[in-house]
């Protein structure tokens, strides 16, 4: 069991989302940055969808009431009993130990995973917190959370190699698939969208990021459409011509024309962009987006096998960049 001693920012329990209920108007929700969350779970030997803690900007202080193995994902200072420890590594905590997590130096969302995950009363098959519908609630000082059973031996001391640690900039190029309502935009509007820089506004949250920048011109069809589905990363453009990128807590349907959809692999880059950060958009096709996703999933599988001790990883440098090569262990 763990206890929240101090909770300075929005802190919730999340997993990868609540799937299968959008037809009833219930959003998927789930973690904002699935890359960091999944890697945190791998570090403690969990599966991808194990429930964990998501915090915004500044992490909580946690007291352990039993032994546990944990990992913190994020560009952040971490202390255990006042002694600095590294994020992106798994650590052993014993009863009475206190974990302190500081302010993120970059990015918006950080994650804390525990071997065995966090036990919760699942709602519609998920532990994800969706505050607008009161599916779960924000964590507060004094809350105690039970951890799932896990064999802790062998889970401590796992380290994510440096080249694999996500790095989030406050200026990013975001790949998008144009459409599905391009007929609602002029050629000039589409050109403006793809050639301009947009700024994430403070009026952004888990539901969507509102952007400020050059106005995207609609065609004579206007901004409104017959309400249809809102996929993750959909970019709506209301009548004011300012795009909105729909994220984890997005509504299931919407009536604004969509000029594009962010490629799944780039959604974490959007989510980790702070207010004032700059985004530019690059058009790719569906096949390119699918190939990027396949490559990412292959990398995730390789990382999990590396951390589970099934393969070896070697860091190489080529063309001025560092890469990881995974090699099967001899049997």
Sketch out the chain's domains with CATH numbers: 2-164 (no CATH), 171-284 (2.40.100.10), 287-328 (no CATH)
Q: Whole-angstrom Cα distance, residue 294 to residue 276?
A: 31
Q: Whole-angstrom Cα distance, residue 278 to residue 123?
A: 36
Q: Whole-angstrom Cα distance, residue 259 to residue 243?
A: 9
Q: What is residue 331's predicted lDDT score, i.e. its pLDDT?
A: 62
Q: What is residue 321's predicted lDDT score, i.e. its pLDDT?
A: 72
Closest CA to 252 of 19, 88, 13, 11: 19
Q: How many CA atoms lie within 13 A of 324 on its CB side?
A: 16
Which ranges in the chain belong to alpha helices (H)?
34-43, 187-195, 267-271, 286-307
Q: What is residue 310's predicted lDDT score, i.e. its pLDDT?
A: 85
Closest CA to 270 of 127, 173, 157, 133: 173
Answer left, alpha or beta for residue 8, where phi above 0 means left and psi between -120 and 50 means alpha: alpha
Tokens of 285: 């096709």
Q: What is the pLDDT of residues 30-42, one digit of tens each?
A: 999 999 999 999 9
Q: What is residue 323's predicted lDDT score, i.e. its pLDDT?
A: 72
Q: What is residue 152's predicted lDDT score, i.e. its pLDDT?
A: 84
Q: What is the pLDDT of residues 208-244, one digit of tens each?
A: 999 999 999 999 999 999 999 999 999 999 999 999 9
Q: What is residue 151's predicted lDDT score, i.e. its pLDDT?
A: 84
Q: What is residue 15's predicted lDDT score, i.e. its pLDDT?
A: 97
Q: What is residue 268's predicted lDDT score, i.e. its pLDDT?
A: 98
**Regions of the chain short of the pLDDT cut 70:** 319, 330-331
Query: What's this model's pTM, rounded to 2 decimal places?
Result: 0.94
Q: What is residue 330's predicted lDDT score, i.e. its pLDDT?
A: 67
Q: Between β-strands 109-114 and 68-73, what pairing exists: parallel, antiparallel or unpaired?
A: antiparallel
């Amino acid at each position: 069991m763990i206890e929240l001693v101090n909770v300075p920012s929005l802190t919730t329990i999340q997993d990868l989302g609540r799937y299968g209920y959008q037809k009833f108007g219930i959003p998927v929700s789930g973690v904002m940055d699935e890359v960091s969350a999944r890697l945190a779970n791998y570090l403690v030997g969990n599966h991808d969808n194990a429930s964990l803690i998501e915090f915004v900007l500044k992490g909580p202080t946690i007291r352990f009431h039993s032994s546990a193995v944990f990992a913190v994902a994020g560009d952040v200072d971490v202390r255990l009993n006042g002694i600095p420890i590294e994020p992106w590594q798994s650590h052993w905590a014993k009863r009475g130990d206190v974990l302190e997590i500081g302010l993120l130096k970059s990015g918006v969302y950080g994650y804390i995973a525990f071997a065995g995950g966090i036990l919760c009363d699942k709602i519609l098959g998920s532990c994800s917190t969706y505050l607008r519908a009161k599916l779960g609630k924000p964590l507060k000082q004094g809350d105690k959370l039970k951890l799932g059973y896990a064999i802790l031996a062998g889970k401590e001391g796992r380290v994510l190699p440096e080249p694999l640690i996500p790095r989030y900039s406050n200026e990013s190029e975001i790949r998008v698939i144009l459409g599905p309502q391009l007929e609602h935009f002029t050629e000039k509007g589409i050109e403006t969208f793809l050639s301009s820089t947009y700024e994430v506004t403070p009026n952004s949250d888990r539901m969507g990021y509102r952007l400020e920048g050059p106005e995207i011109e609609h065609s004579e069809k206007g901004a409104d459409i017959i309400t249809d589905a809102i996929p993750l990363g959909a970019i709506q453009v209301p009548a004011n011509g300012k795009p909105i990128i729909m994220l984890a807590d997005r509504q299931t349907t919407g009536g604004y024309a969509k000029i594009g959809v962010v490629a799944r692999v780039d959604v974490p880059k959007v989510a980790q962009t702070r207010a004032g950060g700059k985004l530019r958009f690059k058009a790719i096709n569906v096949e390119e987006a699918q190939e990027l996703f396949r490559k990412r999933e292959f990398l995730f599988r390789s990382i999990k096998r590396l951390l589970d001790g099934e393969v070896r990883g070697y860091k190489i440098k080529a063309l001025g960049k560092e890469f990881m090569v995974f090699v099967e262990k001899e049997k």
